[in-house]
Every structure is written in C-alpha cells, then in structure tokens.
Amino acid sequence: MKSLELMTKEELESLVLFYNKAYWEDQDPIISDPDYDKLINRLLELDPDNEVANKVHSTVVNSSDKIEHSNPMLSLDKVYTSEEVLKWCQKVARMDNECFLVQVKYDGCSAELNNDLLSTRGDGHIGENISDKIPYVRILTGPEFIPSIGFKGKVRGELVLQKSVFEQYKDVLKRKSGEPYKNSRNACA
C-alpha cells in the first residue's frame, strides 16, 4: 500500500469509507484503531473540514429507537504515547499543579442510564434506546452494578464485555443474522 503521505485526499477518503463500512455495517473491523486514526489525521491535515473524516458514526438505524441526551455525550481525545498524554494534560489543565487520574480505556459501548432508559452515545446528541438490554447487563455484571428498575437519576459509563466472559458465551451470543461475533467489543455493542 502507498504511504499515507503520498496518498491523495480522494484515496484517503476511499480507504476511510471502506474501513467504516467494515466496522459499522459489517461489524468486522479490519484495521487497528491507531492505524485508522492515522488515516483520519492525515485526511484532516489535507482537508481540516473534510466531511468523511469529521463524520460521527452511530448505529442508530430506526428513528423510533432514538433518545436525545439532555447533555451531549462527547468522545474523548485519543492518545497513544506518553508525549501525547502530556500534551493533552497541558491542553486541558486548569492550573499548573493539577493532578490527573490515568486509566486504561476500555473498548466497549458508551452508554447512559437516565431514569429507566438506557441508551448508547450515538452521535453524542442522539443515541439508540437499548433499555431492553438492561437485564443482560444485570446478569453479566451482577445487580449491584446497575441501578434497579425505578432508579431516578443519570449514570454514564462504558459497557464492556470482558474477553473471558465473551469466550464463555460466544457460542450463544449471535447477531440477528445468526452469525457469531468476532470479538467482545462488537458483541457488547
């Protein structure tokens, strides 16, 4: 494959669209997140307002399943090196001696429980209603990790299916088509 620096804007857009289809429609990611981010970053270098590079993807397909968030659920900045972490800290720090807690980023499904409605992050403003999945979350995590029915309030977090749990249930967890999931992130989402 041609190096990113030698690719045209059109070639980069074509690759991004190809990888987006594999990830979002086929649920079969065929490129690593860091490599995908390099494509996006190069496309944004060439065209900062590029529609393909700036599109926020969502799996919401049925308008009746949409829930509007009262406050946006924004995505976090991605960093891959210590230098990038330090640069990010300098950008967001409110004072010189501010402390940060750094944790591993789990790759799952960002979600919001608002009263009895559970929804995905979606595009940050509108997510998919996944309230029917609450019993599965309770079974896999234990009832103490998700508030009981009748909960009044809002909780945001990342739904994650551990690899060990995925391995245990992968023969039972199937797509609507009957096909098995290829990884725990896709099964969770």
Q: How confident is the model at residue 172 (pLDDT cuts 50, 70, 90)?
A: confident
pLDDT at 61 over 50: no
| Among 21, 55, 105, 182, the one annotated catalytic | 105
CB neighbour class for 56 (10 Å; exposed up to 12, middle 13-18, buried from 19): exposed
Q: Where are the domains of the chain?
A: 4-54, 63-74+107-188
pTM of this structure: 0.57
Segment 21-44, tens digit of pLDDT: 887 777 677 888 788 888 888 988
- The alpha carbon of 63 is separated from its chain's Cα centroid by a whole number of angstroms, namely 20
Q: What string of DSSP letters covers 105-174?
A: PP-SEEEEEETTEEEE-TTSSEEEB-GGGHHHHHHHH-GGGSPPTT--SEEEEEE---HHHHHHHTTT-B
- Residue 111 in contact with residue 133, Cβ under 8 Å? no
Compute, in degrees rounded to 10, the torsion defined by CA atoms 51, 54, 59, 62: -50
Mark whether 105 is an active-site residue: yes
If one looks up domain 4-54 in CATH, what number appears?
A: 1.10.287
Segment 67-118, tens digit of pLDDT: 888 888 877 677 888 898 888 888 888 898 888 877 776 777 888 888 778 8
Which CATH fold would you assign to the domain 63-74+107-188? D-amino Acid Aminotransferase; Chain A, domain 1 (3.30.470)
- Residue 121 has a pLDDT of 85
